[in-house]
Amino acid sequence: MTADDGDGPDAARRMLRVAAGQLGPVGRDEPRSSVVARLIALLDRAADRGVELVAFPELALTTFFPRWYTEELSGHDHYFETEMPGPETKPLFDAAASHGIGFSLGYAELTPDGHRYNTTILVDGAGGEVARFRKVHIPGHEDDEPWRPFQHLERRYFEESDQGFGVWPAFGGLVGMATCNDRRWPETYREMGLQGVELILIGYNTPIHYAPDPGQNALQGFHNALVMQAGAYQNGTWVVGVAKGGTEEGVESLAQSAIIAPSGQIVAQAVTSGDELVVADCDLDWCRHYKETLFDFARYRRPEVYRRITTQKGVEVPPPRHEGAEP
């Protein structure tokens, strides 16, 4: 980092043109081939814009099926992928490779031994698999709650991943992934921040209506931006948040996909709730403005006094203090 505000000429900086490939609603009966065609259309637009990496949403290939209860888990197996790419998704991989564009894609993973995860795959510009991430924080509920106007049964259909958050060298930098509810937890970003992450890709499906506390409905957009801006700034990393938004099977879902700089500033944001490409030039070296100053973890962090963060799951209120007792 030079003394002036910039980092020297563009040529010397690791510039990456990134896009959020936002999707509008995916209908319950919309075939994967139709969704893949929409994703390829976004890739084609990305190619016209010189984009090198496109982030697609969580569970991008199907409607957000956890809004419906099924007694038998197998009742929703048709929403899951048993291979990635499979016959219906291979055209997306081929199109991306033909453009030399990398992408991340969220999908429901059913493993050969019967495990179910909310997964995202990261693929490089040559069509090679870089990594897979399985969602860590699974929100919602496990059992039928018919009182809700629509349900959020992710905890019924997906297992919590024990693999945690990884960071991989790719696209000239260090890239990490998270999924939807993961973005609301500061641990998500710090786990990757401690691995030097410079770009985090986050797909989401976020209903506007939050049944347990409807007072939060009006704040969904604010909370969405708040958590990603904070995560970006506090870890000196770029963050791409990409929605499947719009009114999907009667459920109004947040769009507002955004690309956020290590400063926490939103540099690009979706203006529709439909299929939309949101593009930004990300200077990966800009991360140093935060990683080498305020958030120089090696210099300023105090893990020796953070033990609660990794040893406690829930709140443990300290015992009441008696008058005159030692503090």
User: Closest distance between ligand ING and the C-beta of residue 316, in Å?
Assistant: 25
Q: What token pair was written down for 204?
A: 């989401």
Instruction: Please list every residue from 204 through 233 that binds ligand ING, using CB under 6 A.
Output: 204-207, 210
Distance of alpha carbon 95 from its chain centroid, rounded? 23
Q: Considering the rule CB under 6 A, would residue 152 count as an interface residue with ligand ING?
A: yes
Distance of alpha carbon 4 from its chain centroid, rounded? 33
Task: Name which of 99 and 184 has its Cβ closer to ligand ING.
Answer: 184
User: Closest distance between ligand ING and the C-beta of residue 166, in Å?
Assistant: 19
How many residues of this chain bind ligand ING (CB under 6 A)? 10
The C-alpha atoms of residue 84 and residue 103 are separated, in whole angstroms, by 13
Q: What token pair was written down for 190?
A: 């710090």
Contact segment (CB under 6 A) with ligand ING among 21-29, 99-107, 180-188, 225-233 equals 180-188
- 161, 295, 322 from 132: Cα distances, Å: 11, 28, 52
Catalytic hit among 81, 135, 191, 198:
135
- Residue that is written with structure tokens 């990261």 in the block: 122
Task: Name which of 187 and 281 has its Cβ closer to ligand ING.
Answer: 187
Task: Name which of 22 and 206 has its Cβ closer to ligand ING.
Answer: 206
Q: Considering the rule CB under 6 A, would residue 242 count as an interface residue with ligand ING?
A: no
Please choose, from the candidates 192, 197, 217, 194, the residue with its C-alpha nearest in 3D space to the C-alpha of residue 206: 217
- Residue that is written with structure tokens 């700089």 in the block: 261
Task: Name which of 89 and 188 has its Cβ closer to ligand ING.
Answer: 188
The C-alpha atoms of residue 213 and residue 71 are separated, in whole angstroms, by 26
Q: Assess whether the previous peptide bond of 85 is cis (omega < 30° from 0).
A: yes
Cβ-based burial of 186 (10 A; exposed 0-12, middle 13-18, buried ≥19):
middle
Task: Name which of 69 and 210 has its Cβ closer to ligand ING.
Answer: 210
Instruction: Please list every residue from 113 through 142 that binds ligand ING, using CB under 6 A.
Output: 139
* Contact between 119 and 106 (Cβ < 8 Å): yes
User: Closest distance between ligand ING and the C-beta of residue 248, in Å?
Assistant: 12
Please choose, from the candidates 292, 286, 290, the residue with its C-alpha nearest in 3D space to the C-alpha of residue 267: 286
The C-alpha atoms of residue 226 and residue 69 are separated, in whole angstroms, by 31
Contact segment (CB under 6 A) with ligand ING among 10-18, 201-209, 274-282, 318-326 equals 201-209
Contact segment (CB under 6 A) with ligand ING among 170-178, 200-208, 286-294, 318-326 equals 200-208
User: Closest distance between ligand ING and the C-beta of residue 152, in Å?
Assistant: 6
Q: Considering the rule CB under 6 A, would residue 181 count as an interface residue with ligand ING?
A: yes
For residue 180, indicate whether it is catalytic.
yes
* Contact between 180 and 202 (Cβ < 8 Å): yes
For residue 58, indicate whether it is catalytic.
yes
Contact segment (CB under 6 A) with ligand ING among 48-56, 179-187, 267-275, 299-307 equals 179-187
Catalytic hit among 52, 109, 154, 180:
180
For residue 135, indicate whether it is catalytic.
yes
The C-alpha atoms of residue 327 and residue 323 are separated, in whole angstroms, by 10
The C-alpha atoms of residue 134 and residue 90 are separated, in whole angstroms, by 21
Question: Which active-site residues does the annotation give?
Answer: 58, 135, 180
The residues of the shown chain that bind ligand ING, judged by CB under 6 A, are: 139, 152, 180-181, 184, 204-207, 210
